[in-house]
Amino acid sequence: MHCLKRYLIAAVLILSTSLQAGASQISVDRSAGKMRLARGASLEVSYRLAEGMADEDFAMPLVNFTTYGHPRLYITLERNDSTAFVTLLSHDSFDRQGIPAARAIDSGAFVARFRVISVDSLEVSIGDDRLLFGDVAIDADASYEVLLPSSGGPLESSSANIGNEGKKQLTNKTMAWIVLILLLDVLIFIILTVSKRISDGKAVSEAQEESQTETAPVQNSSIQLFGDLKIIDRNGEDISKKMSPMLQELFLILVCHYPEGGISSASLKEHLWYDKDNNSARNNRSVYMAKLKKILEEIGDCTIERNGDYWSIDPGSVYIDYCCLFDIINSGDRSPDGIRKIVQILSSGSFLSHAAASEWSDRIKSRLADSAVSCLESFLLSFKVKDDPGLVSRAADALFSLDSINETALAAKCKALREAGNHAMAKKLFTSFQKEYSELYGEEFGKSFSDIMME
């Protein structure tokens, strides 16, 4: 019934939008270029309404993302009295969200920003208002053509700027700098050639250390959320299969919200029992909490904790990789030992890869990625490569797993390889980075190999 209701609402809305658009028949066929919708990718479109339309009700398309000529993501804007509605249609979802006071539209000229949060979520911003759409099923590897609406009806004009937050403007290098850099390359080559035996020894040492990189150990009374889900009881048995899908999701929600101080009863209802009334949702929550309590007793001394109206799972002495990771990050520990633990946890696999896509999991994943990226960048920017090139290399790999075109990771990894005497592999890594950057942003990476090595 819930799905049927959504489809009926979608049909009514589409019919309503068609009637309002009426004679204008705005076509969405003006190409603004192509882009990949990887995490962090963004599109900014400026719109100017026809004269007098800022005070009128209207409906118009905002943008259409297509592949091979087929629409994949279609986003529209509807103005009704003082409220604006943004609607997103895709093959797998339909979502309509309102902006109560659409002040940004009142001037007749406004900017809409579309930013990819994850493969399942897209943020749409109009002025200061931000809307998050989930279940959009983005293919991060596909090249999408961006189509804008043609002028007509309520729309006078539109223009787009495809890009990504955080890209840096490039500076021109003088010939003197180019000559100096080339000389420096030659000097490095001579030094590396003369000290080949020493360099080869370092390379072997680093290769051995790389091969010894292990994932977080599985131990009794432990919970692993990175890679395959593992819930190990006091006797060393994995009891994750004892949980039904609903019980497992409740368990994951409570564990993941522990660093935040818990999750409210209202939010639990919204995520798990949205189709129940308050009494039914409360009864379901009590039943599943009782079931979960019995399983937690098998694991160790971790317990369900309630603080007012907020729920979480207190790990006690039970090892939970996710909680351990955040303990290190929040403590400000950027020592080599702390970074080794972080790298070890991240090397176990993707976080919550076993969980179904949802709004809460996307938010937790995004927060985790931002925190871990900031922590690893801070370490790599302050730690001397020569003190432990193996650790720097593994920390850079962990950073790449979170952000494949991270410049800090590139510089650190290349320097670690150079320190180990593997100059050719450093150059190969840089070339691969250049290619991925160009494919993602549609422009050349603005730094040379020498620039990266001198940072």
pLDDT at 164: 52
Number of folded domains that form the chain: 1
In a domain, 43, yes or no: yes
Could you count the other beta carbons within 10 Å of the beta carbon of residue 109? Answer: 14
Supply the pLDDT for residue 450. Answer: 87
Look at residue 382 and tell me if it is in a domain: no
Which domain covers residue 89, as residue numbers?
Answer: 2-164
Structure tokens of 444? 């050349």
Q: Residue 320 pLDDT > 70, yes or no?
A: yes
What is the reported pLDDT for 174?
55
The reported pLDDT for the residue numbered 26 is: 65
State if pTM tops 0.85.
no
What does the pLDDT average to over 106-125?
86
CB atoms within 10 A of CB 401: 18
Mean pLDDT rounded to a whole number for the chain = 81
Q: Is residue 377 domain-resident? A: no
| CATH number of residue 145's parent domain | 2.60.120.200
Which among 144, 150, 149 is positioned nearest to 162, based on CA atoms? Answer: 144
Residues 178-225: tens digit of each pLDDT: 777 777 777 787 777 656 544 444 443 444 444 344 555 567 889 999
At 298, list the tokens. Answer: 């098998």
pLDDT of residue 342: 93
Residue 200, pLDDT score = 43
pLDDT, residue 193, reads: 64
pLDDT category at 17 given cuts 50, 70, 90 is: very low
Helix (H) or strand (E) holding 134: strand 129-134
Does 238 fall in a domain? no
**For the segment 247-257, what is each residue's pLDDT rounded down to a tens digit?**
999 999 999 89
Q: Which residue has the tokens 């940072």?
A: 455
Establish if 274 belongs to a structural domain: no
Which pLDDT does position 406 carry in this prediction? 92
Average pLDDT over residues 250-274: 90
- How far is 63 from 71, CA to CA, in rounded Å? 10
Position 144 in a domain = yes
| Residue 58 placed within a domain | yes
DSSP labels for 19-68? HHHGGG---EEEEEEEEE--TTEEEEEEEEEPTTGGGS-EEEEEEEEEET
Task: Indicate whether 215 belongs to any domain.
Answer: no
pLDDT digits (tens, 9 = 90+) for 363-378: 888 998 999 999 999 9
What pLDDT digit, counting tens, does each position of 405-440 carry? 999 999 999 999 998 888 899 999 999 999 999 998
Distance of CA 339 to the CA centre of its chain: 21
